[in-house]
A and B are shown apart, each in its own frame.
Chain A
């Protein structure tokens, strides 16, 4: 009888892992807490560096899913137990399954920008997050600020909730730098007359074509990159967001009035992932993401035989890296069953 694998979380990692596992001939149950698969990608307008529409990427990933994969939606996993050589997995609604292996693809949660109080998210109306901007792009609506005006100047704040000891997140979220470059270009495409500023610590253009996109942002779109972290934002009488920042290359403090301020929120491990990992006795490190047995050689294995990880639950990743990691996890599961 074919082995049964439960995959927890139907974002890009879970979908791709399930698709690959089904190709190996395993019985796969993909469990999702929401009523629809796709995770954060559902709301993402376009992907860097090619600007491929998010829905197109998601459609393609979903298409890879073999109909034999059983979808268990609207089920939040509340319990998991390793019993002899199998796992019992329990959902909040009483759903239960016995699995020969489990792959955790529980993903990430976006940093809650309210926690950076000095940036004024939730207080000043024209302070939004990168996720809010993607939703605005995806809606197809005109790019207006919350006061219904075309912003003449837009600021992007990098590293919001990432590489920040004050909020206890030392890790880099990897994707925000290039996302800011991508979003800044999209803004310039929609509002060619607007001035666009990116406030950064350093720019981590590690992926293929990222550097080229960054160069294009400067040369073709005249986007201004200012090395310096924001100290605070406030609001003027017209609803503009006034930001204070130091240009550390010029060594000068700046005060800039923006019509829209976009906070590039980073990735954090999901609270539920931490709980599950703790219950299973998995090793966790200070950043809270699940620690695989070895980050270089065995990135999908955990210390518990039969329990695997894929995607951003084990650390920030781009969609491309997530999909590769998901396929790698399926190989790891197949390898595990062979032994």
Chain B
């Protein structure tokens, strides 16, 4: 049995090698079975949150249609734009279409490669700068979701002090910070917000450094904050740990962090999580592309479109959800416009 699968794997590898050695000639040969491609940012599919949500978005499509294939690839910290472009090219030559590209660091690589493969539909998460007739920019209004959890933080704190931990100091994460501060100030204009970032680019380790997240959060809690929000990927786990040890509140990001198996021990102190529905964005794009619809352009997912939101797991927001939802509908109607720059929050 084992041997058989081994041989099979070997055979498919040989086939792969054959396709590769004739790379240019046999480009779109595999017309029968459609393949979806996902290029993840650092960390790949196995890291819960941002990257994994892209996979979660595609999974039901794969389950429904068994003939669909999936090829995946992930970024590495030493990659240059050229290297990223080469990887996207490889996926395109492997016959993947549509291809989902996760993360803004791919933008300039995609700008080049999308032109070389005009028949492939590309979707890029978190960037709307790539303008091409076959590229969809899937962007989110992170500031709106962060505004809502900022409201929750300000209504929950007893000390009037809250904290924000950003993974890497980038304009994207600044949007989370801006929305969070603005939301908190909408409840209490005098609220004190401590902010910190774990790392500076090109060191993207701040998105996956629970130890530093723990230290940063602990510092904030000891400094009087009793609610901290981390927009920092895997780093947030450290914050949840510190919160559960010190019996303070923490706020998760991207997905419902209270439901992560790894967070089972911390879930009683996770106040809420800011949802960024990368899964919806990716699923919408892939479905449209598979159905042959035109996908190009910028697709913005705000609170109104259900692209961002907050969770009520654990029931810790009891009594204040009405207020939050009320602000939410004001955001939808455009009555409240959430800033994206922390300085203007």
| Chains A and B are bound partners | no
Chain B contact residues, CB within 8 Å of chain A = none
Chain A contact residues, CB within 8 Å of chain B = none
